[in-house]
Amino acid sequence: MTGTRSLRRAVATLCCSVFVATGCSFDGVNSLPLPGTVGRGADAAVYHVQIANVGSLEPNSPVLLGDVVVGSVGRMKVSNWRADIEVSVRPDVVVPANAVATVGQTSLLGSMHLALDPPLGEAPRGRLEAGSSIGLARSSTYPSTEQTLSSLSVVLNGGGLGQMGDIVREFNAALNGRESQIRDLLVRLNDFVGMLDTQRDDINASITAMDRMAGTFAAEREVITTALQRIPPALDVLVNERPRITEALDRLGRFSDTATGLINDTKDDLVRNLANLEPALRALADVGPDLGTVLAYAPTFPYTQSFIDRAIRGDYMNQFIVFDFTIPRLKRGLFLGTRWGQEGAPMVPAPGDPWYLTYTLDPLNAPITPVPTEVADIPPLVETVEPAPGPTPHLGEGAN
C-alpha cells in the first residue's frame, strides 16, 4: 500500500513538472522529448526548417545526415501557411552550409524522417551555424506510399499499359513479310550510326563552335535587333531605286564591253609601253637606297645632322641670310631655261610630260634669220711653195 502511494506521488510530481516546463500546455506525449531521442540536450545545435508539406512527420522523428541519425525533430508549428520545424542535432555533427531538407520514409512502411544532405551531385561546403534557417526553396517532400500506389493504379487501370498488347500485335503485322527490308534498314542504320561515331569529334567541335556563335549573337542581340529594324526601310529604298540600279548595271555592262574592246585594241601598245618602262623602273630600283638618303637629306639642306654635330657646339646658332629675289637673279638662277628666264624660248617637252606624245616640231613656226647687210669677200687663193728636198736633220746633230 505504501509502494502504491509512492508511485502515485511520483507520477503526480512528474506531471506537475511537465505542466510547469511546457507553460501549462500539453500537445500529447509525442510533443515531449522521449527517452532515447538523439540530439537533445542543452548543448545541442538547433535549426529551423520551413517545409510546404510535412506529410505524416511527427515530433521526435529522426533527423538523418548521410543515412545516419544525428538528431531529432522538435516543435512543429504553422507560420504563414507553411510548417516551421525545429530540428535538434548533436553538437559534434557538422551540417553542411549548402544542406537541403527532405522529408521521406525510412522504408516502404517505415517511419518518417527528415534528411539534411547537400544537393544531389554537389559536395558539402562549409558549416551551417546553429540557429540558422533552411528556407522553403531548399526543402522538399518525397511522395508518400499512398501517392505512389495511387499513381501506379492510374497507370495500370486508366493508362496506356493495357494497350501494349494491341501495339505489339500491330507491330508484328507491320513487320510480317518484310524481314529482309527491315534487316537491310537495320544494316544501314548501323552504318549510319558507325559513321556518326567516327565523326563524333567533328560533331562535338561543330556543336562547340555553334555554341560560341550563339553566344556571340546573344551578346550582340541589341545590335542585331537594331539592324533588323533598319533592314525593311533599306529594302524599301532599294525597291524605289530599282529602275535606276537596273539602268546603272546596264550601263556598267556596256562600259565593260567598251573597256574590254579598248584593252584588246591597245594591248600591244600597252605591252610595249610597259616594256619601255622597265629600264626606267630598274634604274629607279638601283638608286633606291641612295634615293632614301637624298630624301632624308633634302628637308634639312644645307644643315644636315652631321653638319650640326661637327659645326655647331651648343643648342643654338646665329645666322645672317640674304635672299635675292630680284628678277635678273631669278632669270639667271631658278628660271634659267624656262620662258620666264628667257622670253621666246621654245618649250620642248621631255619624255613623260603629258603632251610629249602629241608634240611635233613645226618648221614653219621656226624663227627666220635675216640676211646680213654686209657680206665679207672671199679671200684669194694663196699658192704654197714646197721646200727643196734635202737631208732630214736628226736630234743631236748640232752637238757634234
DSSP track, 63-101: EESSSSEEEEEEEEEESSSSEEEEEEE-TT----TT-EE
What is the model's pLDDT at position 174?
Answer: 85
Q: How confident is the model at residue 23 (pLDDT cuts 50, 70, 90)?
A: very low
Measured between alpha carbons, how far is 287 from 292 in angstroms, rounded to an integer?
9
Q: Between 123 and 396, whose confidence is greater? A: 123
Q: What is the pLDDT of residues 314-338, one digit of tens each?
A: 777 777 778 888 888 888 887 877 7
Residue that is written with C-alpha cell 628666264 in the block = 341
What is the model's pLDDT at position 260?
Answer: 92
Joined grid coordinates for residue 297:
637629306
Phi, psi (degrees; rounded to nearest 5) at 103: -100, 130
- The answer, yes or no, to whether residue 169 has pLDDT greater than 60, is yes
Phi, psi (degrees; rounded to nearest 5) at 140: -155, 175
What is the model's pLDDT at position 244?
Answer: 93
Measured between alpha carbons, how far is 60 from 62 in angstroms, rounded to an integer?
6
Judge whether 70 and 90 are in contact, CB under 8 Å. Answer: yes
Measured between alpha carbons, how far is 246 from 353 in angstroms, rounded to an integer?
40
Q: How confident is the model at residue 400 (pLDDT cuts 50, 70, 90)?
A: very low
What is the model's pLDDT at position 397?
Answer: 40
Q: What is the pLDDT of residues 371-381, one digit of tens each?
A: 666 666 666 66
Q: Between 248 and 283, whose confidence is greater? A: 248
What is the model's pLDDT at position 256?
Answer: 93
332-348: average pLDDT: 74
252-265: average pLDDT: 92
Question: What length does the chain have?
Answer: 400
What is the model's pLDDT at position 8?
Answer: 56
User: Which SS3 state, helix, strand or coil, does residue 47 take?
Assistant: strand
Long-range contacts of 279-285 (CB under 8 A, 24+ apart): none
What is the model's pLDDT at position 395?
Answer: 41
Judge whether 89 and 132 are in contact, CB under 8 Å. Answer: no
Weakest mean pLDDT among 119-123, 147-151, 228-232:
147-151
Weakest mean pLDDT among 176-185, 295-304, 352-361, 386-395:
386-395
Judge whether 41 and 92 are in contact, CB under 8 Å. Answer: no
Judge whether 155 and 161 are in contact, CB under 8 Å. Answer: yes
44-55: average pLDDT: 88
Judge whether 58 and 30 are in contact, CB under 8 Å. Answer: yes
User: Which SS3 state, helix, strand or coil, does residue 358 take?
Assistant: coil
219-245: average pLDDT: 90
Q: Within a 13 Å sphere around the CA of 48, how many CA atoms are in the beta-carbon half? A: 13
161-172: average pLDDT: 76
Edge-to-edge order in the sheet of strand 133-134: 133-134, 45-51, 83-89, 69-78, 62-64, 112-117, 100-105, 139-141
What pairs with residue 85 in β-bridges?
A: 49, 76
Q: What is the pLDDT of residues 66-108, one digit of tens each?
A: 888 898 888 888 888 888 889 999 988 899 989 999 998 877 7
Long-range contacts of 140-147 (CB under 8 A, 24+ apart): 140/51, 140/100, 140/101, 140/102, 140/103, 141/51, 141/52, 141/53, 141/54, 141/55, 141/102, 141/103, 141/104, 142/102, 142/103, 142/104, 142/105, 144/55, 144/56, 144/105, 145/105, 145/108, 145/109
Torsion of CA 254, 258, 259, 265, to 10 degrees: 160
Q: Which amino acid is at 124?
A: P
Weakest mean pLDDT among 157-161, 197-201, 335-339, 344-348:
157-161
Q: How confident is the model at residue 369 (pLDDT cuts 50, 70, 90)?
A: low
Q: How confident is the model at residue 398 (pLDDT cuts 50, 70, 90)?
A: very low
Share of the chain above pLDDT 90, in %: 17
